[in-house]
Amino acid sequence: MFNKMNVLSLFDGMSCTQLALKSIGVSPNKYYAAEWDKYASSITQKNFPNTIPLGDVTKWREWDVDWSTIDLIVAGFPCQSWSMAGARLGDRDSRGQLFWTTLDIIQHVLEANPNAKFLMENVKMKADFEQYITHHTQEALGVVNKHLINSALVSAQNRQRYYWTNIEGIEQPKDKGVVLKDILENGVTDREKSHCIDANYFKGGNLKSYFEKHRRQLVFSPNGLCHVGDADLNGNQSIKRVYHPEGKAPTLTTMGGGHREPKVIVIKNDMTWRKLTPLECERLQTVPDGYTEGVSNTQRYKMLGNGFTVDVIAHILSNLEQVK
């Protein structure tokens, strides 16, 4: 039964869905991948040469697909228009309109095969956007289960994502207890969970952006950032830690406020730091080591930032009746 499933993946990227299926013992009979990015597609073909490429999702009516045979459809439709970090235009721009394309395709599949399962994914967004997507998904597709899952439960990355699906029985994943230091090739970190890795991570970051805007995870040299004590704050131990690049601490009780981000006493321009490596980003997304090798590091960062956290998708798909 496991090998008879036919899967359609929209916005397939580097095929994290196939990785998730493989991890739960499912080898699809046919796997159709709609993806326009040539670099991501090349990684898919390298790792899963039997993938059937479909190209541009907007040309779906031209695809040579027997819709009645599709058992599972997965779609991580573009997030830029919905994300709180983006333009927040919703479906008022071309990328946001792909939400409607996604619904059209899933609806077409369900009309041909009412027993088909679907899974849609997107970023955590402002409430009215989430309600808008949920409402129209229910209106178009019927019963929809919505879940907000943080990848931090299965990896060392804070990555909150919404999932809309007709798969039943999904619960929150168990916390695997993975922390950032566990996945680093070298260096030290000031936190247990990485900031979310996005498609622009390849641009790198800087100390000001990192500590003030809490974005683009950095890794420090062993001598670059030292834990020198704890601030006088209420809450979890991780939010009390105070760091200094030279290990010298002034009076810690002057560190007021209740921010959950690490407190740094001195930031030096010559502090030794780096961004995460592509291998470390693979580990944050629970992708096998070296999976994205074969393209430039820039392209590796992009596809990893756009991709799913594999173990979250595997957790969700493990609830398919074909897998139980």
Write out pLDDT tens, residues 245-262: 443 333 333 334 444 444
What pLDDT was estimated at residue 272? 78
User: Do residues 253 and 129 share a domain?
Assistant: no
User: Do residues 18 and 115 share a domain?
Assistant: yes
What pLDDT was estimated at residue 283? 97
What value, to the nearest 5°, has the Cα angle with vertex 124 and ends 298 and 51? 50
Q: How far apart (Å, rounded) are the C-alpha atoms in residues 217 and 296?
A: 20
| 290: pLDDT strictly greater than 60 | yes
Let me know: does 298 contact 201? Beta carbons within 8 Å.
no
User: Do residues 203 and 120 share a domain?
Assistant: no
Q: What is the mean pLDDT of residues 125-144?
A: 96
User: Do residues 40 and 160 share a domain?
Assistant: yes
> Is position 184 within any domain?
yes
What pLDDT was estimated at residue 119? 98
What pLDDT was estimated at residue 265? 40
Write out pLDDT tens, residues 303-312: 999 999 999 9
User: Do residues 86 and 106 share a domain?
Assistant: yes
What pLDDT was estimated at residue 234? 62
Return the percentage of the chain with pLDDT > 70, whole number.
83
> Is position 322 within any domain?
no
User: Do residues 10 and 135 share a domain?
Assistant: yes
- Residues in a beta bridge with 30: 6
**Interstrand relation of 72-75 and 6-10 (parallel, antiparallel or unpaired):** parallel
At 187, the pLDDT band (50, 70, 90 cuts) reads: confident
Coil, helix or strand at residue 161:
strand
What pLDDT was estimated at residue 223? 60
> Is position 192 within any domain?
yes
User: Do residues 32 and 109 share a domain?
Assistant: yes
Q: Which of 74-83, 204-213, 300-309 has the highest mean pLDDT?
A: 300-309
| 70: pLDDT strictly greater than 50 | yes
At 85, the pLDDT band (50, 70, 90 cuts) reads: confident
Q: Which domain holds residue 235?
A: 180-279
User: Do residues 142 and 10 share a domain?
Assistant: yes
What pLDDT was estimated at residue 232? 56
> Is position 296 within any domain?
no
User: Do residues 74 and 95 share a domain?
Assistant: yes
Q: Which residues contact 193 (CB under 8 A, 6 or more apart)?
A: 152, 156, 157, 158, 179, 180
> Is position 45 within any domain?
yes
> Is position 69 within any domain?
yes
CATH number at residue 13: 3.40.50.150
User: Do residues 10 and 140 share a domain?
Assistant: yes
What DSSP designation does 237 have?
G
Q: How many structural domains does the chain have?
A: 2
| 221: pLDDT strictly greater than 90 | no
What pLDDT was estimated at residue 1? 42
User: Do residues 143 and 188 share a domain?
Assistant: no
User: Do residues 161 and 191 share a domain?
Assistant: no
At 264, the pLDDT band (50, 70, 90 cuts) reads: very low
